[in-house]
Amino acid sequence: MCEEFLGRRLNRLRCVVGTLVGLCLLTTDAGSQDAAPDFDKDVAPILIDNCLDCHSGAEPKGGLSLVESDSARKGGESGTAIAPGSLHRSLLWQHIVSGEMPPMKPLGDPERQVLRNWILLGAKWGTSPIDRFRMTTSKRAGTDWWALQPVERPDVPVVGLNSRVRNPIDAFVLRKLAEQGLVPSPEATPRVLLRRLSFDLTGLPPAPEQVLEFEHSMRESGEAAFSELVNRLLDSKHFGERWGRHWLDVVRFGESQGYERDKLRTDSWHYRDWVIDAFNSDLPYDEFVRQQLAGDILYPDDARAIIATGFLVAGAWDEVGQSQQSSAMKAVVRQDEIEDYVGTIAQTFLGLTVNCARCHDHKFDPILQKEYYQLASAVGGVRHGSRAVVSGNGGKPFSVYAVKPGTAEVTYVLDRGNAAVRREVVTPGGVASVAAINSSFGLAADSPDADRRRKLASWITQEQNPLFARVIVNRLWHYHFGAGLLETPNDFGFNGGRPSHPELIDWLASELITSGWSLKHTHRLIVTSATYRQASRHRPDCAAVDADNRLLWRKSPARLEAEALRDSILSVAGQLNPQYGGAPYRDFTTYVKNTQFYTMADPDSPDVYRRTVYRTWIRSGRNQLLDAFDCPDPSTTAPRRAVTTTPIQSLALMNNSFVLRMSDRFAERVIKEAGTDVSLQATRVYQLAYSRSPNDAETDQLAHFVTSHGLSALCRVVLNSNEFIHVD
């Protein structure tokens, strides 16, 4: 009773206070009422930022929609919301002055004054309905969001530390550092740079002889030696193997169906080889994307272009759901399949989470539910399956897992994503907030699959698309520095935030376009910059200002990914099989009993000692060593890998049967190359694993350890060391 009494008194007090505030505002000098606020310029932004999250849509709170003039004046369940000329009869105003609305944060006096004058002077409406996407607010992005604006090549800033500018990248970085009173770190040593470049561009450690040669070349030729090294690594076949693996993370590539039966796809590896070859040949990025979306349509007689469409069907596929008897359930499964296509396409190439608009308009970005279904219509003819292709003239046909085109049906907007409740028909199209390009494909609702995907590929890869170039240059930056200029490579929307260096991301995007969409050109710019070549030593004064190194005052150290770690172990042990491409190896045994079952194994065979990118990537069978080091689940896209530190990782590197065997092979290699002298053996271990020789103190300790515990034990310790699994 006491709480109820106090509640009534509090409500009464709020009403009194609200009335007093309203009276105070009513008695404000009349001059402020002379000029009526402009609705579109002054009033609509207040409503968009504070009201429309709740009071819009099919089911607005309290039955009050403030999107259109008629619905706003009609009011909701409580009565008239806006009575032109009368504050007393306008419930909108009464709730505002009492502090009830907005519920989370009351309006400030300037906003209240705008609404007060607007109501008193007739509440004249402007554009109706209000375009709630037209401006960015504190809660969501509008069409004015930075990533949706055209890419304009910014001027390269003039900075004071000209000696630290090797290319325009450095000028943009140095300006940001100077704004915070920071200076960059000195350049890393040639040995560190060689190791860094080798892992970044090829995923493999340099040979000891290459270290000595590069150190000598840097002393003799300087920058020319560095450029020669970069070009050699970019031209290496291992470049495509390294960067192809990054791409396979993004596109959720797997070689089994997933779901409950997880049937093996024995012909899906052709797409993996296509990706590796595309990176090695520096296929222009716009063409790289076009072929993955519509290669079979653009080049129907080219087997490799058909293989490229493996991108669309690289994800899991519910084979059981597609074959069930219930047409209603099959429709649900089909909609889930299409969401996988739409989500992967939009996040990979546009950095937009369009799939979040399947059931309603996007909560944070200017994407309508209707636009989700427009993109769904664009891929409405895509089906999973194997198809026969012929390579070259007179070649033998072979099977590849790729898009198997089917009938592209008419697409409807589904009420709350419910496949059983259809609303209006939509035609194939894009997202209108990507305003620099026309989102209308100009196709009929029943147009064939070929027309739909051809238009989709063209829409996405247009030079004027503000997201297309920005997203890929940020993705490359992410893999070189451990974090993108925008930290969320797949989300350039509101939840992704803003980039640390907005002008730099636009400069890189425009440079990519100018270069003819050459990704190797972008790689070359990044790795030859002074920013990339900085030492990685921690500096407490800089960390106090920028703990996460977002301003790039040093090159952050990086831990090897699971695949690079396994490949490096094979390399230093002298066991790496250099075979390029072809059918994958299997580190499992399998059998089928209605469902396909997999048992992980550790075979000792040269075929299995190929680079890890050539592993058969099944979805329900996880390699324990790779899993321990955060190898992602191929059932979902992985634009950023987790980097954890756990006891399981150390235990795996000490006790895993593969590591134990490689430690023995490592020791055998060292004995073969260094002989029986324990000091020379210790030196060779360090040269192979760390790309350096041990100092005198280390040599004495290592020699004593080898004498006491054996060379294989030392090799195992080294493979488990921070210096081996991290790159400065």
Segments making up each domain of the chain, as ranges: 2-132, 142-181+468-557, 185-235, 284-461, 655-727
pTM of the model: 0.92
**Distance of alpha carbon 310 from alpha carbon 270, whole angstroms:** 8
Q: Give the three-state DSSP class for 560.
A: coil
136 close to 49: Cβ distance less than 8 angstroms: no
Reported confidence tier of residue 56, pLDDT bands at 50, 70, 90: confident
Predicted pLDDT of residue 138: 87
Of the candidates 249, 199, 311, 322, which has an alpha carbon nearest to the alpha carbon of residue 617? 249
DSSP element (H, E) containing 721? none
- The answer on pLDDT for 524 being more than 70 is yes
- The mean pLDDT of 310-320, rounded to a whole number, is 96
- The mean pLDDT of 82-107, rounded to a whole number, is 90
Predicted pLDDT of residue 596: 95
Predicted pLDDT of residue 618: 96
Q: What is the pLDDT of residues 697-725, one digit of tens each?
A: 999 999 999 999 999 999 999 999 999 99
Of the candidates 183, 166, 177, 187, which has an alpha carbon nearest to the alpha carbon of residue 550? 177
685 close to 715: Cβ distance less than 8 angstroms: yes
Q: What is the pLDDT of residues 159-173, one digit of tens each?
A: 988 889 999 999 999
Predicted pLDDT of residue 21: 43
Predicted pLDDT of residue 12: 47
Q: What is the pLDDT of residues 502-511, one digit of tens each?
A: 999 999 999 9
**Distance of alpha carbon 372 from alpha carbon 410, whole angstroms:** 14
- The mean pLDDT of 123-152, rounded to a whole number, is 92
DSSP 727: E
DSSP assignment of 386-448:
EEEEE-STTPPEEEEE---------EEEEGGG-TT-EEEEE-SB--TTSTTS--B----TT--
Predicted pLDDT of residue 500: 97
Q: Which of 192-196, 309-313, 465-469, 621-625 has the lowest mean pLDDT?
A: 621-625
**Distance of alpha carbon 239 from alpha carbon 407, whole angstroms:** 39
- The answer on pLDDT for 539 being more than 60 is yes
264 close to 572: Cβ distance less than 8 angstroms: no
595 close to 262: Cβ distance less than 8 angstroms: yes
DSSP-assigned beta bridge partners for residue 95: none
Quote the tokens at residue 649.
């990782």
493 close to 364: Cβ distance less than 8 angstroms: yes
DSSP assignment of 163-201:
GG-SSHHHHHHHHHHHHTT--PPPBPPHHHHHHHHHHHH
- The mean pLDDT of 363-388, rounded to a whole number, is 97
**CA 621 to chain CA centroid, nearest Å:** 25
- The mean pLDDT of 387-399, rounded to a whole number, is 88
| Tokens 């260094």 found at | 674
| Tokens 């995923």 found at | 203
Of the candidates 140, 88, 122, which has an alpha carbon nearest to the alpha carbon of residue 433? 140
Residue percentage of the chain with pLDDT more than 70? 95
